[in-house]
Homo-oligomer: A and B are copies of this chain.
Amino acid sequence: MRFCQIGVGRIGSLHAAHIADHPDCDLAYVIDRNDELAQAIAAKLGAQTAPIDAVLGDPGIDAVVIASSSASHDELIEAAARAGKAIFCEQPAGLSSKRTEAVLAVVSECGVPFFAALHRRFDPQIAAFKRRLDKGEIGKVEQLLITSREPMLPPIDYLRTSGGLFRDMMLHDFDLARWLLGEGPTEVYTAASVLVDPTLVSLGDVDTAIVTLKTRSGKLVQVNNSRRAVYGFDQRLEAFGSGGMLRMGNRVHDAVELSNAHGTSLSTPMRDMTARYREAFRLEFDAFVEALKTGKPPQPGPADARAAIQIADAATESMETGKPVAL
């Protein structure tokens, strides 16, 4: 299978390397709005650069991996779908629920495979967490707490076109909640603040938020996000049920601990998101390739992309109106 990698920033360059390494894949093209970067990575991985139209017009190309800026996803998906290419796309697919619906309608019409790159589902630790919930280790699940905090605020330029905290960052937590519980929310309430950088106020964005979800069966979910966590990348889970509690802690640098007169000091959580989710990024790509090979619809797919942005839109609306939003 021949691939084109679109966008080779932090995550896109990882995908490019996975394509190049995969025994069943051939990385033919690399595209980025920074052409120099695209050429450098193409050269390193034995690929070439080309205009997007040329790539999509090349009948030898089977699939595209989209990891460009979030605001560009929608048009790239539509163009790729119309060109009959299989699509692997970072989330969200569109910057609103409405736009995402339109984009996925095109995907559906064109009948191309579509993979929603919700990588955390593939993290071995999170996957183990899911398996243990499904096996009933804590009985019937009643509450889920998701902590998700990034070490540093991204550049303001990035944030300007990101869709805001709930679509750019918490969307992944919303997907996890849905997937772990096997049930989506019917009610979404947001409490949010600008506590890290006042510049966000002028963007209509926030940097600190707690969102509560309630499902039809009454399960309660709390998600907290922050754009600042000086101690590292903080992504933890806690599920609570009729039979007990299941928790997932952070991945830390090492198991070395120092005890002195000031206390006992452990390693910090890993700071770098791509290092933390290294296996997840590889495993999700493997899953996409496997789906293409077997002809099964990739999982997670359009329904998951749609559900995640719907919750993110509801959380944004709740922030703006100060009221809970029904789904």
- Which A residues contact B (CB, under 8 angstroms)? 124-125, 128-129, 132, 137-138, 140, 142-143, 145, 147, 149, 187, 189, 191-196, 208-210, 212-214, 218-222, 224, 226, 228-232, 234, 240, 242-269, 322-324
Contacts and interface: CB of A to CB of B under 8 A. Distances in A.
B260 A132 contact: no
Given A220-B193, A244-B230, A212 B209 contact: no
Contact of A220 (B209, B259, B265): B209
A248 B256 contact: yes
Contact of A230 (B195, B253, B260): B260
B260 A243 contact: yes
Contacts of A247: 256-259
A218 B208 contact: yes
A97 to B, nearest CB: 22
Contacts of A192: 220
Given A143-B210, A195-B142, A208-B142, A258 B149 contact: no
A234 B264 CA distance: 12
Given A230-B260, A255-B251, A193 B219 contact: yes
A193 B145 CA distance: 16
A146 to B, nearest CB: 11
B260 A263 contact: no
B218 A193 contact: yes
A240 to B, nearest CB: 7
Contacts of A195: 140, 142, 218-219, 242
Contacts of A218: 193-195, 208
A258 B246 contact: yes
Nearest to A234: B245
A176 to B, nearest CB: 14
A273 to B, nearest CB: 17
A135 to B, nearest CB: 11
A61 to B, nearest CB: 28
A305 to B, nearest CB: 26
Contact of A214 (B143, B191, B219, B266): B191
A145 B143 contact: no
Determine which residue in A208, A220, A268, A269 has the highest number of CB atoms from chain B within 10 A of its CB, and name it: A220
B125 A254 contact: yes
A170 B193 CA distance: 24
Nearest to A232: B259
A174 to B, nearest CB: 15
